[in-house]
Every structure is written in C-alpha cells, then in structure tokens.
Amino acid sequence: MSFSQSLIKDAQPYLEANKRNSFIQDVISNRLSPDVLNYYIQQDLRYADAETIVQTQLITKSKTIEDQRLFADQLSAHLRTVSDLFEALTKNVKQDWSNQRNQTIQPVTFLYREHILSQVREGSLLNVLAPFEAGIWMYIELGKYLEATGKIKSGNNFYTWVQDVQDPDLAGPGGISNQFLAIIDREAEKADQAQLAYVRKQFLRSCLLEWYFWDAASRQLTWEDFDKLAFKNDGSGLL
C-alpha cells in the first residue's frame, strides 16, 4: 500500500465522524440555518486565505520547475475560483457579499489555520503539503457522501458546495487531489520513519480539525463564547 493510501485508510474513522457531524446532517435534511451557513462562509474565507499562503510555500519549497509550475498553476486556479463558491453561497444567506471577507478569525478557524501554516517556516514540501491535502481529501469525500444521499437538490442552500467539491479538476482521477497524493508518495520515499510518523499525525490532525470546523459553525462559536466559559469558571469545561 502506498503511503498516501495508508493515510487515507487511517483517516476513515475521521471521515465517518465528519459525516455524522450535525452540520453535514443538517445539510442532508435541508435544515442548515442561514446563520450557521453564514458563519461557515465567513470563517472558510479566512481558511481559504491560509490556503493561499500554504500554496505560495509549496512553490517555494519545490525543488523542480515542474513542481513549481504545478503548484503555481494550482494557486492561480485557487485565486481565480475561491470567491465564486462563497459568493454563490452568500446569496443563500441574504447577506451582502462585500461584508463577507476579513471577518474576525474565530477560535477553531484560528487553530486550523495555525495547524496548516505551522510547517511554513521549517517544514519540508511533504510537511506543508500533507496537512493541506487532508482538508481537500475530506471535502471531496464529504461531497461524494452528500451526493450519494440523493437528497441534495438545487433548492438546498449547500447545493453549490456539493457540486463544487466534485469538480473533476479537483476530485477526478487526474484531478489536483490525486496529483497532490502522488507528490506526497514521491516525497515519502525520501523520508525516514520518524518523519513519516510525524506527517501521518499532521494529516490526521487536519481531519480532526475538519470535524471541529463544522462543529464550530453549527454552534457559531466565537472568542466571546471562549471568554464566557472561562470566566464562568464553574468547572463545567470548554464545550
């Protein structure tokens, strides 16, 4: 089994947990509230900004012109299309598009951004790519899952998302996700066991943070909530 296939195998329990998350289940039953979706849009725009930074680093850390071109092309595609989906989703929540960008980065978004950005300074190409690809892989799998329910019709306010993450350029056999997985396997050949164990942990942590990202949206969790719980200080715990 290739290294990337072993990552995907280990990530299956996380994928199952993500499927069962109340955000995803609310999408299926078409009960996702506009406020929850709006929180998701605003926070995922901040995550997408971190993805931009990660992708500049993929170019920087590449050792060949071919890799640099692949990552540069993908960054360009990301910048070309990143607003489209969020703008389409914003129509479903009846907010003004001009308001959606640059909202406060809330706690879980902060944590997930820091996670994928943590390899930027010292990490190798493999270190930067794996936790980023984990999020892409999770989105594609959740898209397939949602599509397979047969319940996401064009009136569903998450319909565009489900369509988007199934785009063959992203999710197809020769799509970018498989290209990234192939690069992960190529780089893994050069890494030692300790490095691979670390990359595996980082990949799976992204899958975990994906769950918390949906959960935070469902609860519309803010720094104010973090403050309130801390100051209540009754031992009741965080969440």
Ligand X SMILES: Cc1ncc(CO)c(N)n1
Cα–Cα dist 57/153, whole Å: 38
* Of 19-27, 54-62, 100-108, 134-142: span binding ligand X (CB under 6 A): 134-142
Pick from 37, 38, 93, 135 the residue near ligand X by CB under 6 A: 135
Minimal distance, residue 32 CB to ligand X, in Å: 16
Q: How many residues bind ligand X (CB under 6 A)?
A: 9
* DSSP alpha helix (H) spans, the chain: 3-10, 12-20, 22-28, 34-61, 65-92, 107-117, 125-148, 159-164, 168-171, 176-188, 193-219, 223-232
Cβ-closest residue to ligand X?
135
Pick from 213, 216, 218, 221 the residue near ligand X by CB under 6 A: 213
Q: Is 107 in contact with 222 (CB distance < 8 Å)? A: yes
Closer residue to ligand X in complex, CB, 77/191: 77
Pick from 136, 184, 207, 221 the residue near ligand X by CB under 6 A: 136
Q: Is 52 in contact with 75 (CB distance < 8 Å)? A: yes
Residue 17 interacts with ligand X (CB under 6 A): yes or no: no
Minimal distance, residue 193 CB to ligand X, in Å: 28
Closer residue to ligand X in complex, CB, 123/131: 131
Q: How far is CA 140 from CA 15, 49, 136, 220, 228, in A?
A: 11, 19, 6, 24, 36
Residue 86 interacts with ligand X (CB under 6 A): yes or no: no
Minimal distance, residue 177 CB to ligand X, in Å: 10
Minimal distance, residue 163 CB to ligand X, in Å: 14
Interface with ligand X in residues 39-78 (CB under 6 A): 44, 47-48, 51
**Residues 115, 107, 177, CA angle at the centre, nearest 5°?**
40
Q: Is 35 in contact with 220 (CB distance < 8 Å)? A: yes
Nearest to 160 by CA among 32, 72, 64: 32
> What is the token pair recorded at 208?
């975990």
Residue 139 interacts with ligand X (CB under 6 A): yes or no: yes
Judged by the rule CB under 6 A, the positions of this chain that interact with ligand X are 44, 47-48, 51, 135-136, 139, 210, 213
